[in-house]
Structure 1
C-alpha cells in the first residue's frame, strides 16, 4: 500500500486515464478527491472505490470554481499530498482550418486551468512542508504532430511551466514535480477532441483504439509518482518519436510527416 492515507486530488477523473488513476490510487490506500465537470460520472467512479473519496465538481477554466474547490478540499482533508493535473482536451484539425476559438479553448483548459489550480494549491503544500504535483502531458508535449497544433502547444507550455516551478522550489520545500507523457492510450480522448470549429470530433482514432490499456498506463504513472521521477514516457513504439526528435531529427520529421495522425 504505497500511498496509504495520502490525500490525492485527481482532475479529469470521470473517464479515461483519470478514472483509471482513481482506482489505482484507491487500491494503494490513498484518500481521494476526484474532480471533473460531470458529477454523475464522478458518482459512478466513486461507487467503484472502496476507500475514502470526496467528489468536487469543477470547471477548471473558472477561477471562482477553482478557489471554491481548493477551499472545500482543504476544509475536508486539511492537506493535499499529491495533485494529479489530468484534466484536458485534444484536437483533430489542420492549422490552416482551425478557428481561434479552438486554440483559446484548448489553452484555457489544458494550460491556464492546470497552472491556476496548481498555484492555488502550492501555498498549502509549502506551508505543510511537503507535496507532489504530477501533470499529465503527452508525447506531443515534446514533439509536434499533425492535427494537434493547439493541443501540442498547450502541452509544450506545461513542460516549460512545471520545469521552471521545480527549479524555483527550494530543497526544504520538499515538493516534487512529475511530468507524465503518455503516447496513445485507449481512452475516449479522440471522441471529445475538438474539430476545427470547436465541435466534438466524436470518433475513435484507429491509433487510440490500438493504444495501451488505461489501467496499465495508470499503473505506470503511479510507479513514476512513487519514485518521484521528474519525467516519464508511457506507451509503446510511439514514444520512440521523442528519442528520434532528440537524436535523429531528420528521421523524426520523415516519420511524423507520414504517420497516420488519427
Structure 2
C-alpha cells in the first residue's frame, strides 16, 4: 500500500500524539494540528519525515477550513482525517460556569462537526476518504461531574451515525468512530476543575499507544465503531440493563475512582486556551486504594451475574 496523507487534529498529546507516531512509523505523510505550536513541533520532531504543522483551534470553523486547504496544497489530497482534539471539565453541572460548559461542547462536539464538514468536502471531491472521530465510553454511558463532556460525546455519537447514513451514496467514504475507555493522557490534569479534586482515569486504564493503534486499525480497515477498553462492555451492559443499580453506584465510584485525593482550586484549565500539559502515568495519578480497585471488580462481576440471572429468568 502506498503511503497515505493523514490529517490529525489534536495531535499535540495523548491519543493524537500516539496516532501520529503510529502513522509515521508506517510511512504515511502527516499533517499535524492542535492549538499549541510548541507541543506540535515536539511531536513533529518525534515523527520525523517533515510533517506539515498547522496550529489550529477546531472550535473555529475558518481555521479548520484553512487546515484542509493547507493539507491539499501540500500533498494534493487527504486520505485519512482523524480527530482526537478534546477538552474536559469536572464539577457538578450547577457549579461549572456556563461559559466553560458551553466551550467544552463547542470544542468537543461543534469542533468535531467543523472537522467533519471540512473533511467530507475534500472526500466528496476525491470520491474517497476515511474520517475517524474519537468518541468515548462516555458517549455510551453517563457519569456525574462530567456533564459537558458526556453531552458532547453523546452528541458526537449521533453525528457520526448520521454522517454514515448520509454518505451511503459514496461507497469510497468511510465514517468511523473510536470509543476509548479510560486512557492515560494529560486531559485529566489539563481539564477545567470545579469538583475540588484533580481528575484521573478510573481503572482499568489503557495506554494512549493502544488507542493510537486503534486509529491506525480503523484507517487500514474502516468499520463503523471500534471500542477499546477492558471495562467498556461491562459498563455499557450495566448502564443499559440495570439503570437503578448503575445510577446508585456510579456517583460513589466516580468520587472514589475518577477523582484523586489531590485538591484542586476552581480553574478553567485548558478549555479556552492551551495550557501546560502533564503526562499521566501511575506515579502522577497516585496509587488507587485497594478497596477502590476491589469495588470496581465487584461491580463488574455483579453486573455480569445479574445480567446472566435476568436472561435465565426470561428463558424459563
Of 34, 47, 50, the residue aligned with 2:48 is 50
1:227 corresponding residue in structure 2:
221
Q: Which runs of 5+ in 2 are unaligned?
A: 260-316
1:247 corresponding residue in structure 2:
241
Relative to structure 2, which stretch is displaced further, 165-174 or 55-64? 165-174
- 8 A contact 1:190–1:202 mirrored in 2: no
Q: How far apart, in 1, do the equivalents of 2:77 and 2:193 lie?
A: 39
1:52-91 equivalences under 5 Å are: 52-91=50-89
Deviation at 1:204, TM superposition (A): 5.4
Normalising by the residue count of structure 2, what TM-score does the alignment of the two structures yield?
0.76
Equivalent pairs, count: 256
Q: How far apart, in 2, do the equivalents of 1:245 and 1:232 lie?
A: 19
Report the CA distance shift for 1:216/1:52 in structure 2 as closer, same or farther (over 3 A): same
Q: How far apart, in 2, do the equivalents of 1:46 and 1:239 lie?
A: 35
- 8 A contact 2:31–2:53 mirrored in 1: yes
Deviation at 1:206, TM superposition (A): 5.8
1:137 corresponding residue in structure 2:
135
Task: Determine which structure has more spread, i.e. the larger CA radius of gyration.
Answer: 2
Deviation at 1:224, TM superposition (A): 3.3
Report the CA distance shift for 1:221/1:248 in structure 2 as closer, same or farther (over 3 A): farther
Report the CA distance shift for 1:116/1:237 in structure 2 as closer, same or farther (over 3 A): same
- 8 A contact 1:37–1:57 mirrored in 2: yes
Report the CA distance shift for 1:126/1:107 in structure 2 as closer, same or farther (over 3 A): same
Of 205, 219, 232, the residue aligned with 2:200 is 205
1:41 corresponding residue in structure 2:
39
Q: How far apart, in 2, do the equivalents of 1:178 and 1:31 lie?
A: 20
Deviation at 1:202, TM superposition (A): 9.1
CA distances 1:141-200 after superposition (whole Å, capped 9, x unpaired) = 111111110100011111111100100113434111111111110011111111249xxx
